[in-house]
Amino acid sequence: MGQIRYYSTNNKSERVSFETALMKGLASKYGLYMLSRDDIPRLKPSTIRAMKDLSYAQIAFEVLYPFLKGEINKKDLEEILEGAYDDAKIPTTIQHVTGNTHIMWLSHGPTYSFKDYAARFFARILNYFLKRSGQKRVVVVATSGDTGGAVADALHNLESVNNIVFFPKGSITERQRKQMTTLKDNIYAFEVNGDFDVCQALAKRLLGDKACAQQLFNDPEQLTSANSISLGRLLPQAVYPFFAYSRVAHYDEPMIASVPSGNFGDMMGTVIAKEMGLPIPKILCGVNENREFPEFLSRGEYRVKPTIKSPSSAMNVSNPSNFARLIDLYGGHVYDKRDAHGKVIQEGVVDIQPDMKAMREDLYSISVSTPEHYRAIKEVYERFGIIIEPHGAVGWWVLETFFERKHGRLAVIYETADPGKFPDDIKEAIGVVPNVPERIAKQAKQPERIYSVDDLPDSKEDGSMVLSGAQYERAKELIREIFTN
């Protein structure tokens, strides 16, 4: 196979290298960079079996090199991955719980979130390409909780990069906020009046506004993304299902993956791993009370509704970006309708229906209510003495529902954050306050730097929030002030 070319989900005539996709962030016509099912590299069963003797970084090389062949030499990629996934800085553990059920803890990195895995690869590969070409970039990212802290930490003080983070006012925990606002230097945290979908719309509009980039930076390509919309964030999320499988499976044994799903990055990474040959007969995509996806899987109709707040705050997403990639993989097309200025006027328009039969065979999804979050945390604590947090609770509840409370088949639940990031929810569920992670305790005492987009969002008839023109202009004004001082 030659070098893979990546296309826009909204413009398949655009074909670019991984490096170009990484630098641009958002594809043409506000699409996401994607590759065809036929271009997804396949790993031999013998290669997958051999992973049981490899470190996380070595498994990452086996998974990622086929996507990057021809763009980076093996030695450079090995060094990038060894640095990103140093076991002393980001240990990955698999915990047996009961029967054939395991928890994969992706929460021991610098910001205590699974987002560290993709962010650390993204930061290093971006810096590598930028230094090689002598360029600089401003990385724009929207966060519903954990992404911002992980990306900011990974990009902090990198010489070729500045980072702008948009987070929803009042919708993330104080500990999550301080992981972004206390770093300073090249990290600029913006508090936005609205929900995550408003923040995501703001990031996407900026990324697609080449005239704005030209005006602000004298370079239409200056802005790139580190959200799930970035190919550099998506591909490393295909690694950890391979790691989990290498530690729990016995010779080609199939494995169920239960993936708490918000912006669908983890889920899409797991779908790619399945396409690469990992024997995952079913991917469980648990969502919280933002139930657009399970309703689509059930009825074949996609209707974006107002975002609902839930204990699994990073999953408070009503229109996941990576839904566009999933639909594309199954032969369909979905897009956000925009006006002449790039403002979204209708979200989630499915104009080509995907292969629903194939999707239903591969994927299972249900919505987990707020009381069910707390019941799952309590059940796991009382039965096994293990404290899980709200996102992992969704993974647990969905697996239990899928198996009808019987633990027979091999299964791994993704646990995506340290319980110490959600003290109020854990106390609500089990009456115990979890330990505060060491680095978070230090950040709690440090001063913050916050840029505020206080303008009101627009609202639709159903009450959902929409990015307003005033918010967009205010964000541009703040960015201009930051980079012209």
Which residues is 450 bridged to in the sheet? Answer: 189
Output the pLDDT for position 230. Answer: 87
3-state helix, strand, coil in the chain (%, to 5): 45, 20, 35
Q: What is the pLDDT of residues 155-206, one digit of tens each?
A: 999 888 999 999 999 888 888 899 999 999 999 999 999 998 899 899 989 9
DSSP 235-300: GGGGHHHHHHHHHH--SS---EEEEE-SSSHHHHHHHHHHHTT---S-EEEEB-S--HHHHHHHHS
Output the pLDDT for position 224. Answer: 87
Cβ neighbours of residue 369 closer than 8 Å, sequence gap 6 or more: 288, 289
Same fold, 92-112+237-432 and 116-232+442-484: yes
Spans of the chain below 70 pLDDT: 1, 405-407
Output the pLDDT for position 231. Answer: 93
Question: CA-CA distance, 257 to 239, in Å (whole number)?
Answer: 13
Q: Which runs of E-coded beta strand occur in 61-177?
A: 93-98, 101-105, 137-142, 161-168
- Contact between 242 and 51 (Cβ < 8 Å): yes
Where are the domains positioned within the chain? 92-112+237-432, 116-232+442-484
What residue type is assigned to position 269 of the chain? Answer: G
Return the structure tokens found at 290.
């933002």
Question: CA-CA distance, 15 to 154, in Å (whole number)?
Answer: 28
| Domain 116-232+442-484: top CATH class | alpha beta
Output the pLDDT for position 194. Answer: 94
Output the pLDDT for position 265. Answer: 92
Angle at 197 between CA 192 and CA 200, to 5 degrees: 75
Return the structure tokens found at 473.
């202009």
Output the pLDDT for position 1. Answer: 57
Q: How far is CA 308 from the centre of its chain?
A: 19
Question: CA-CA distance, 279 to 99, in Å (whole number)?
Answer: 19
DSSP 5-24: -EEETTEEEEEE-HHHHHHH
Q: How far is CA 165 from the centre of its chain?
A: 14
Q: Does domain 92-112+237-432 have CATH number 3.40.50.1100?
A: yes
- Contact between 126 and 153 (Cβ < 8 Å): no
Q: Measuring CA to CA, which residue among 401, 325, 237 is closest to residue 32?
A: 325
Q: Measuring CA to CA, which residue among 409, 34, 27 is closest to residue 208?
A: 27
Q: How far is CA 274 from the centre of its chain?
A: 18
Q: DSSP label at 112?
A: S
- With 0.75 as the threshold, say if the pTM is over it: yes
Question: CA-CA distance, 149 to 435, in Å (whole number)?
Answer: 19
Question: CA-CA distance, 357 to 339, in Å (whole number)?
Answer: 34
Cα four-point dihedral sign 155, 159, 160, 165: positive
